[in-house]
Amino acid sequence: MAKYRKLGRTSDQRKALLRSQVTALLYNGKIVTTEARAKEVRKIAEGLIAMAVKEKDNFENVKVAAKVPRKDKDGKRVKEVVDGKKVTVFDSVEKEIKKDLPSRLHARRQMLKVLYPVKEVPQAPAGRKKGTKEVDLVAKLFDEYGPKYASRNGGYTRIIKIGPRKGDAAMEVVLELV
C-alpha cells in the first residue's frame, strides 16, 4: 500500500498544492477540495497542530533593553547636531518578549518549512498595497490553536462530503478545523 496519494501530479507540484491548501486551511479554518486532496492535507495539518499543542507553553519571558528612535508630534525622527553631523536621537526602552526554548524553535522552523507566507489585504480599494500586512501563521498555531486543542488527543479536522463536482464528478468535501 502506498504511503501517500500522488494526486496525478509531479512531486514538486504536489508539494506546492498541499502546502498551499494546508496554509489556506489554517488561515481560514475551512477549505473546499476533493476527497483525496483533503485526506492528504488532513495528515499534514493535524501534524502541525499536534506540534503546536505539544510546544504551546515551551517559552520563557525575557526583559530586553531596546533603542527606539525618538519621534516628534508628526511622527518624524528627532535629529540633533553632533560634531557638525545630524544624528538621530534614541531612547532606551525595556521590553518583555517571548523567547522560544530550543524544542519550540525547532517546531517553529518545521512549521515554516510547510506553511507559505500569508499577506492580509484590506477590503477598501484605496491603499490596498499600503495596508497589506504579513500574517504570522506559526504564532497563530502556538497562541490560538495550541490552547484550543490542548485537551484533545488528535482529530483536529473534520471532512464533510458535499457531493460530486459538476465538471468531472470528483467527490467534493469541506475540510474544516473542529
Distance in angstroms (rounded) separating the CA atoms of residues 24 and 9: 20
Domain positions in the chain are 11-57+102-177, 59-100
Q: What is the CA radius of gyration of the chain?
A: 22
pLDDT at residue 124 in the model: 75
Are 147 and 17 in contact by the 8 Å Cβ rule? The answer is no
User: Burial level of 115, CB count in 10 A (0-12/13-18/19+)?
Assistant: buried
How many CB atoms within 10 Å of residue 41? 24
Amino acid sitting at position 96: E
Per-residue pLDDT of the chain (178 residues; tens, 9 = 90+): 679 999 999 999 999 999 999 999 999 999 999 999 999 999 999 999 999 999 999 999 999 999 999 998 888 899 998 888 999 999 999 999 999 999 999 999 999 999 999 999 887 776 667 778 899 999 999 999 999 999 999 999 999 999 999 999 999 999 999 9
Architecture in CATH of 11-57+102-177 = Alpha-Beta Complex (3.90)
Are 151 and 7 in contact by the 8 Å Cβ rule? The answer is no
